Amino acid sequence: MIREETPEDATAVQQIHASAFGGDLVPRLVTALRQHPARWQPRGYVATVDGEPAGHVLLTASRLDAPKRLVDVLVLSPLGVLPQHQRKGIGTQLVGRAIEEADHAGAPLLFLEGDPAYYRERGFEPGGPLGFRKPSLRIPDAAFQVVKLSAYEDWMTGTLVYAEPFWALDCVGLRDPQA
């Protein structure tokens, strides 16, 4: 079952992301994104198995620096599923719900950076060929992906500008481990 997250889910959501990603960076990102003021407040969705939280996805506001004007958009990040529940379709259901909710909210675009083999099967397309520029050169081209939603208009192209918490916690792209 997928449902909107409640304040009572906070601890379980932190545990989901700590288990799925290891460490505390992604849980800290979730907390920081929730505290960041934006046009759309963060929207989280929880997948439950036998009544217990097993997965979580968060939608947060960012901006597209389009030639005509700034455009409010949403970013899907993070998506996490407890390791013992992975590869059972929970992530797919969470991504589907996130796309539906982003469209329902009136966002024209939903961006993410992630595994293209996973997300392309769930409706995302490479952003570059569609006229979008990634917010950092550290994001691999194939990982920068987008879904065009109902409110999308053809003039909406340009550079994605992540919300400040992504930068403050250095959660953008890949760091060179040799540097």
Q: Is residue 179 part of a domain?
A: no
Q: What is the CATH number for 116?
A: 3.40.630.30
Mean pLDDT of 61-87: 97
| Residue 86 domain-assigned (yes or no) | yes
Tokens 């759309």 found at: 40
How far is residue 16's CA from residue 46's CA, in Å, rounded to a whole number? Answer: 10
Averaged pLDDT of the chain: 95
Whole-model pTM: value is 0.95
Q: Is residue 174 part of a domain?
A: no
Rg of the chain over CA atoms, in angstroms?
Answer: 16
State how far the Cα of 112 lies from the Cα of 177, in Å rounded to an integer.
22
Other C-beta atoms lying within 10 Å of the C-beta of residue 94? 25
Domain interval for residue 95: 2-168
- Whether residue 25 lies inside any domain: the answer is yes
Question: pLDDT band at 39, cuts 50/70/90?
Answer: confident
Asked whether 18 and 27 are in contact (CB, 8 A), the reply is yes
Backbone torsions φ then ψ of 15, nearest 5 degrees:
-70, -40
Domains of the chain: total: 1
Quote the pLDDT of residue 157: 98
Which residue in 37, 38, 45, 35 sits closest to 6, CA to CA?
45
Task: Give residue 38's pLDDT.
Answer: 83
- Other C-beta atoms closer than 10 Å to the C-beta of 90 total 22
Q: Is residue 41 part of a domain?
A: yes
Tallying the residues shown for the chain, one arrives at 179
| 89 DSSP assignment | S
In this model, does residue 177 exceed pLDDT 90?
A: no
pLDDT confidence band for 147 (50 / 70 / 90)? very high
Task: For residue 163, give the amino acid letter.
Answer: A
